[in-house]
Amino acid sequence: MEAQIQQAVEIASGYSNDNSLKQQALEFIQQFKSSTDGWKHCLTILNSATVGSDAISLNLKFFIFQVFDERVPTLSDDEKIVLKDAVYSYLKYIITKGTIEPVFLRNAVAKTLGLLFVHCTLTCYPTIIKDLLGMASQADGNFNALATDYYVKTLVIIHQEIGDQMIIKDKNDIQRSSLLKDHIRDNEMIDMVRSWRQALGHFSSPETVDSSNDIETKALFREIVIGILTAIGFYSSWIEINLILDQEFLSLFYRCLTSDDSKIQIEATNTFINILHKKMPPAKKLELITFLHLGSFLNQMQLDVKNVKFEFAQALARLCRELGIECVQVLEKSSHEELKYDQFRNTCVSKILEIMPLIFKFLENEYDDLSLEVFPFIGAYLLFLERNLVNEDLDFSALDNDQILTSLLNKIILKMRYDDSDDGDDEESIELFNDVRSKLASFQDSIVVINDTLSLDVMIESINTFLFHHLDRGDNKISNWRDIELGLYQLNYYSEMLRNNKMNLPKTMINSSRPYFVFNEMLCKIVDNSTTILVSHPLIQLLFFELIMKHYTFFTNSNIQVEGVNKNETLLKVLKIFVSNFGVFSENPKVKFRTWYLFYRFIKLTRPQVDDYVIIELVKSVTTLLDFDFSITANKNNSDLHDVDLTLVEESGSFENQMYLFEAIGILVTLTNDENKGTIVLQGVLQPLFSNLEKCINAIDNINLELLLQAHHSLLLIGTLVKGVEGIRANQLTDKFVGILEQISQVVLITLERFDDYNVVREACSFCLVRLLSLLSKLDTEHSSMLQDISSKYFTITMNGFEKRKMPEVSNFLNFVSQIFHFCGKSEPVYGLLASLLAPLVHKVVAFINQSTENIGDDITKRDVLELQRSFISFLTSVSSDNMDSIWIVNDTNKHALIAVINLMLSYSCSYLENDISLVKAALTELIALNNSLGTGQVWHKNDTFKNDNNVFEKADEILVGNSFLVCIELTFKIRDKHVLKDAQFRNGVLLEVTRLMRTISFAGNYVPDANTLRRENAKTKGANEQTNGNDSVSIQNASTCQQMANILISQVGFTPSDAEEFVHRLSQATDRNFTKYMLSLIN
């Protein structure tokens, strides 16, 4: 078996190419580890290596101790003693031979010894630590190095098993650990501490280190020193701390801290940190800090951080950080009475001030990783000062004096500067640096809160230094881009400070305050000296334009003035910077495209009032960027060009970003004072796009994806240009301008007609026509026929190809028609057009919805169907909200469409278990609208321009009113699932709409009082309830519809005549919510 084990271990830990054999070996090893007698075979193998001549490999030894570790917790006491004796024998054999085995193997032996201590000390063998110390100690008072190493390593393992708070343990383990700690404190601690002192003094002394030239031995000495320091740091958290707080120990710690070995130095800092973390009352903690004298000692070391190993420098930074944090926590946790004691408070403050030079040294280090180590202390220090701003009872002025805060803020600002080795062109490094900056900015925020006047002075001085120092001394030499970038960053911070009012200025005084004036003054100074300040670097370019955009109101608010600055000239300079190589013509794609967007935003928000020639020059400059150039780099669509998903197409070029420029040009056109010049500009931009579309139409027989995208992009750019022109003034709507709109519409409609089979072109045409509508609706009656012609052509094309449309397209078309109703429905020609469209549109949409509902196969389709249903109801509701319900009864065809709509709304309302609640509510809302306007069979609203008393909906009582009330009954008294009545969404959505529908029916042909009206009327006498509306009708119920409702309640629900009368009467008295509660009480 032993030979088999050895062979399996070697195969498993080797580099065999036979994976099958390796897998078999691993399976065998796992089975062996879990077996109850496997550890005994391991004992046999281990004994053969100590008493016999059999040599075993390091891998096998390591495996043996792994097996021991796994079995120790389950062994009986007798078995544990057997195992302990075997390990002791092996250890004594190794020590006697003086064999320094690899670290991983020594650690494995220590782990087994540590576990034996945990599982034997309280039951069967309490002297393991004494035994190991005995092996390490020699008669002459010195130490056996190898035995001491095993002893120290075992102590570290013991702490990890019983004292490490980071390891989650069960209740039994916690109880056992507590007992073991007590055992060590009572029986082992004095000897352990003495051994640490003696061994640390021995192995860290120069004499011991120099006593051997053997590299392996020197490495062993180092490991012993590091192990002792680690053990002291670990055990300090739960032993009597005074045992290690004496001058001899402290001298040894300092010796290690100043060692020539950086690893020992690092471990010494960790030991100090662990000691500092010892939990104790604030007064005792201050005594500890005072005894350690760390601040003064570290200052006396006069370390040049740049000339020590980086890892040690980090460790020192951590030590300074933790020392500072502990001092701050002493102040935080001390009672008010303790802090009033001057000596106590001043001592603690002095300890903080003692380490400030060190904190500053690490903060200003060129390596961010080193600076980051002291950030937690800076944060704790500033937070303490913030919390004690209004503490007039205690004097902390030494901590927040101007000198410290000025030095700290200056160093924080300097730390925000890009390093000289960083070119600022790597996205990953920029992101990392921005993380550091954001932390530094939070410190700056705190200093602003602590002393805003000082902060303002420091910031202004730094901005002047980084941005304007070369101007002040007449130096034309170009500054380092890093200085300019930092200056702009600080100016941006300054602006955010003002915007968020961190200085707590009265809100009405911010814009007229001195800080705000200084900011505007500096911003203008940058613009005025842009050629010498603004270095072409992406970070500077983006910062500058973002800053301009944040403060665009400087150019629009006449109340903001800067002495000696002509704002119009500054505006012209900003526009010039925008259309320069620094801005929209930048060679850096990120800067270029971002600036295109910011240029558009700036034009849109400021609408610069400049001379026409300036606008013409701006447009001419930008026009050179409008070259239509793209290519398809990837396409994941199938070969069907009729249904293309643009999200699956990847392309090169700048099309999406160019849209911002087109909209900006559109806005600029509206700013011209000479209408002819604006028209010429518009024609010049449109002509290349028209030519593109003409080429696409001519090449339609050879259709491909690139041709479709060319048509799509051209149309979107036209629509975006028109969108920019939407803000045009009425006096600019000249015949020439209207002619251009007509030309655009013709081009779009011809393209739509030719490309109607292709969804991407249809969608683009729809976008254009929607944008055109907002302009066409502004035209006077002289040009109203143009809108009618365009709409008619668009309607015809869409209705002829309705079956080709996808659900989102149908929704968009319904929204478009709704806009026609809203903007142009009062025009008689347009009204006639809509009247002829309504019935065919309703029938096609209803059929389309029914077909789509039958074909629902996934959640996306289900969502699209629901969205289409909502859009359709929204379209229907818009007819009523625009007071055009007369269109439903203008002819028999439309009346049939109205019936279809009513039936569909009734169906949606009744299907509350199958449909989305929002759809049910929307359907009820439409029924309310129809009953309100057509409940009497005639149009009631006088605002309906085309109402005609000769037009009557003959079946209103039966189809509309009667069925609407029956639906109300179905949703209340005859509801299929009464559990839904407990659902808040159903009650607040559906039942409230049901109440409103009932009330509307009861007031058919009259004004329906709202909740406020009902409250007022209820406060009056019973007879004083007259309330007139715009129709001069009295707010009284309709006797006919009320009787109809009462009859249904009696026949369908079983109400008595008096109950039915009371129910209907309450509709005229109670508010919606009160009536709903009343109705629920009847149902229940």
Last residue of a domain, one of 566, 596, 626: 596
Residue tagged 């102590």 (tokens) = 155
| Residue pointed to by tokens 């309100």 | 932
- Type of residue numbered 172: N
User: Are 747 and 617 found together in one domain?
Assistant: yes
Average predicted confidence (pLDDT) for the chain: 90
Residues pairing with 651 in the sheet: 632
Beta bridge partners of 898: none
The answer to whether residue 4 scores a pLDDT higher than 90 is no
- Average confidence (pLDDT) over 947-968: 91
Residues in CB range of 733: below 8 A, 6 or more apart: 778, 779, 780
pLDDT band, residue 205 (cuts 50/70/90): very high
Which candidate, 493, 497, 519, 441, places its Cα nearest to that of 505? Answer: 497
Contacts of residue 346, Cβ cutoff 8 Å, sequence gap at least 6: 398
Please tell me the distance from the alpha carbon of residue 314 to that of residue 374, in angstroms, as a whole number: 9
Q: Which residues neighbour 410 within 8 Å (Cβ) at sequence distance 6 or greater?
A: 458, 462
Residue 124's region, left for phi above 0, alpha for psi from -120 to 50, else beta, is: alpha
The structure tokens listed for 422 are 């960083």
CB contact at 8 A, 154 and 110: yes
Whether residue 810 lies inside any domain: the answer is no
How many beta carbons lie within 10 A of that of residue 562, not counting itself?
18
Task: Using the predicted structure, report yes or no on whether residue 1022 has a pLDDT greater than 50.
Answer: no
Distances (CA, A) of 749 to 793, 797, 802: 7, 8, 16
601 near 668, Cβ under 8 Å?
Answer: no
Asked if residue 1076 and residue 960 are part of one domain, the reply reads: yes
Name residues whose C-beta falls within 8 Å of residue 295's C-beta, 6 or more positions apart in sequence.
323, 351, 354, 355, 358
Token pair 């640390």 in the structure block, residue: 200
- Write the DSSP assignment of 991-1039 as a string of letters: IHHHHHHHHHHHTTTS----HHHHHHHHHS-TT----B-TT--BS---H
Let me know if residue 232 belongs to a domain: no
840: pLDDT strictly greater than 70: yes
| Whole-number Cα distances in Å, 98 to 145, 607, 921 | 9, 88, 89
889: left (phi over 0), alpha (psi -120 to 50) or beta: alpha
CA atoms within 13 A of residue 48's CA, in its CB half-sphere:
16
- Dihedral angle over CA of 456, 462, 464, 465, nearest 10: 160
- Counting Cβ atoms within 10 Å, is residue 36 exposed (0-12), middle (13-18) or buried (19+)? exposed
Q: Is the pLDDT of residue 870 over 90?
A: yes
Tens of pLDDT along 294-347?
Answer: 999 999 988 788 788 999 999 999 999 999 999 999 999 999 999 999 999 999
The pLDDT value recorded for residue 26 is 84
Q: Which of 108-122, 607-621, 1006-1020 has the lowest mean pLDDT?
A: 1006-1020
CB 266, CB 288: distance < 8 Å: no
747-765 confidence digits (pLDDT tens): 999 999 999 999 999 999 9
Structure tokens at 487: 């200056």
Mean of pLDDT values over 283-295: 95
Annotate 317-374 with DSSP letters as a single string: HHHHHHHHHHHHHHHHHS-HHHHHSHHHHHHHHHHHHHHHHHHHHHHT-S-HHHHGGG
φ/ψ (deg, to 5) at 422: -100, 120
Give domain status of residue 833, yes or no: no
Whether residue 819 is contained in a domain is answered as: no
Give the pLDDT band (50/70/90) at residue 52.
low
Question: Token pair of 279, please?
Answer: 């939990």
Residue 918 is encoded by which pair of tokens? 């929002």
Q: Is the pLDDT confidence value at 1026 over 70? A: no
Are 545 and 676 members of one domain? Answer: no
548 & 639 share domain: no
Q: Which candidate, 97, 85, 4, 101, places its Cα nearest to that of 46?
A: 85
Q: Report which of 54, 3, 9 is spatially closest to residue 33, judged by C-alpha positions.
A: 9
Most confident of 175-179, 531-535, 554-558, 1063-1067: 175-179
pLDDT tier, 525 (very low <50, low <70, confident <90, very high otherwise) = very high
Q: CB-based burial of residue 567 (10 Å sphere; 0-12 exposed, 13-18 middle, 19+ buried)?
A: middle
How high is the pLDDT of residue 132? 96
Q: Does 465 map to a domain?
A: no
CA distance 94 to 32: 26
3-class state of residue 645 by DSSP: coil
Is the same domain home to 960 and 995? Answer: yes
Is residue 716 located within the same domain as residue 682? yes
Strand 649-653 to strand 630-635: parallel, antiparallel, or no bridges (unpaired)? antiparallel
Q: Report the distance separating Cα 543 and Cα 549, nearest Å.
A: 10
Q: Determine what percent of the chain is predicted with pLDDT higher than 90.
A: 69
Same domain as 895, residue 754? no
pLDDT of residue 96: 93
Per-residue confidence at 989, pLDDT binned at 50, 70, 90?
confident
Amino acid (1-letter code) at residue 743: Q
Quick one: 699 and 736 in the same domain? yes
Does a structural domain hold residue 219? no
Question: 861 or 869, which is more confident?
Answer: 869
Please write the tens of the pLDDT for every residue from 342-365: 999 999 999 999 999 999 999 999
**What per-residue confidence (pLDDT) applies to 472?**
66
Q: How far is CA 834 from the centre of its chain?
A: 47
Average pLDDT (1-6) is: 75
| Mutual angle of helices 427-450 and 452-463, in 10-degree steps | 140
**Locus of tokens 């170009």:** 478
CA distance 901 to 438: 58
* DSSP symbols for 414-452: HHTSPPTT--S--HHHHHHHHHHHHHHHHHHHHHHHH-H
Structure tokens, 911: 């299907």
Which whole number is the average pLDDT over 600-608?
Answer: 96
- Whether residue 764 sits in one domain with residue 642: yes
Residues 618 and 702 in one domain: yes
Asked if residues 446 and 497 have their Cβ atoms less than 8 Å apart, the reply is: no
Domains in the chain, number: 4
Task: Examine the fold and report which residue of 37, 67, 97 is the final residue of a domain before the chain moves on.
Answer: 67
Helix (H, G, I), strand (E, B) or coil at 170: coil
Q: Give the Cα separation of 6 and 450 in Å (integer).
A: 70
As a whole number, mean pLDDT of residues 475-480 equals 70
Instruction: Identify whether the C-beta of residue 759 lies closer than 8 Å to the C-beta of residue 765.
Output: no
| DSSP three-state, residue 649 | strand
Following DSSP, what letter does each residue of 466-477 receive, concatenated? IIIHHHHTT--S
Q: 115-135: per-residue pLDDT in tens?
A: 999 999 999 999 999 999 999
Do 538 and 616 fall into the same domain? Answer: no
CB 491, CB 467: distance < 8 Å: yes
Residue 5 pLDDT grade (very low, low, confident, very high; cuts 50, 70, 90): confident
Q: Give the mean pLDDT of 478-506.
A: 89
Instruction: Tell me which residue range forms the domain holding 899.
Output: 882-1084
What is the pLDDT at residue 906? 94
Q: Is 98 left (phi over 0), alpha (psi -120 to 50) or beta?
A: left
What is the spatial distance between Cα 167 and Cα 171, in angstroms, rounded to a whole number? Answer: 13
Q: Indicate whether 291 belongs to any domain.
A: no
What is the tens place of the pLDDT at every residue in 639-696? 789 999 898 999 988 999 999 999 999 999 999 988 888 899 999 999 999 999 999 9
Asked which of 775, 802, 834 is the last residue of a domain, the reply is 775
Contact 330, 380 (CB under 8 A): no
Residues 652 and 764 in one domain: yes
Q: How far is CA 121 from CA 30, 107, 575, in A?
A: 29, 20, 83
112 domain-assigned: no
